[in-house]
Amino acid sequence: MNTTIPYITDDFINENCDFIGLIEALKIGFSNADIEVPMRHHHDFSNPKEEKDSTLLLMPAFNPGNDLGVKIATVSPNNGIYNLPAIQGMYIYLDGHKGFIKAILEAKSLTAKRTAAASALASSFLSRKDASSMLMIGTGALSINLIKAHTSVRPIKTVYVWGRTLEKSQKICDNLKNEAFKCIAIDHIEDKISEVAIISSATLSPTPLVLGKWLKKGQHVDLVGAYKKDTREADDEAIKKSNVFLDTYQGGLKESGDIAIPLSKGILSKETIKADLFELCSNIKSGRTSDSEITLFKSVGHALEDLVAASYFYKLFQK
């Protein structure tokens, strides 16, 4: 009996990811009522050398009789100064019948791919079908994945990239120079945010970067950063002007200041949130209903996404 556990690397995941296939797998996963997902463990812990807390995340999910898994991840916001990603971890993928470990997957790229695919899945319901332009706010590990995922579901011809420095933004564009769309680095968010069809933001900014005063009718806003209750990427006016959607009610209502703060202020209520991905993918509720509405999707991540992505890459690895 071969007791060697397959180890699926970031390189394999990066080289074999087809966003169209992964997005479809997530759509099926979110419409599968059998998958069980307990509330993830979210533990902030002190990091004295950085004078800023880090976070430990434990994210289990079960597809009874088929497979299950758990992601162990850490978030260290200051890792950029050490040339390390902010999010690091491993995914343990197991057999749902006998409980043995089927594979261990590096979680950096797994997380980036599934997060980007979830945003693009939401965009397929929420952005205008003719969306041809996009602004990417942030230049971290997620940015290239979000751009590739969004451009796989909409006919995007031009992508603008903003980061803390123009040099970082240009580096993203250089990495995408062979894609079918044009990629342009910009100095200021307000230069293009009012013109684009899709705005995607993935930053660790503690204060809003997407301001409601800049938003125009028909836009779609995709918020992926701000993973703590006291941080946010969009301001109150952006929430007021938008129809709000979540990846899941389970985490989305509690884990990010983008939703938790407006809820606490009475600017937003659970009843006014339009839908989550479970409801959209199961056709229980509708996404965009007019070309003029502003839609806003908040993603905090969900263990179902990790399990579906682990299964997707495991099957590719077995071929």
- Are 169 and 279 found together in one domain? yes
176: tokens are 């995408």
Q: Choose among 107, 122, 74: nearest CA to 298.
A: 122
- Summary mean pLDDT of the chain: 94
Quick one: pLDDT at residue 241?
Answer: 96
Q: Is residue 1 part of a domain?
A: no
The CATH number assigned to the domain holding 105 equals 3.30.1780.10
Residues 257-261: contacts with CB under 8 Å, at least 24 apart: 257/226, 257/228, 257/229, 257/230, 257/231, 257/232, 258/223, 258/226, 258/232, 258/233, 258/234, 258/298, 259/298, 260/229, 261/229, 261/230, 261/232
Quick one: pLDDT at residue 251?
Answer: 80
Q: Are 180 and 147 contacting, i.e. CB atoms less than 8 angstroms apart?
A: no
- Are 164 and 60 found together in one domain? no
Quick one: pLDDT at residue 2?
Answer: 56
Whole-model pTM? Answer: 0.91
Quick one: pLDDT at residue 151?
Answer: 98
- Are 150 and 14 found together in one domain? no
Quick one: pLDDT at residue 42?
Answer: 84
Which residue in the block uniquely carries the two structure tokens 């594979």?
103
- Are 51 and 141 found together in one domain? no
Which residue in the block uniquely carries the two structure tokens 């983008």?
258
Domain that holds residue 79: 7-110+304-318
Quick one: pLDDT at residue 94?
Answer: 97
- Are 148 and 178 found together in one domain? yes
**Which residues of the chain are modeled with pLDDT < 50?**
1
Helix (H, G, I), strand (E, B) or coil at 298: strand
Quick one: pLDDT at residue 1?
Answer: 45
Q: Is residue 2 part of a domain?
A: no
Q: Are 127 and 295 contacting, i.e. CB atoms less than 8 angstroms apart?
A: yes
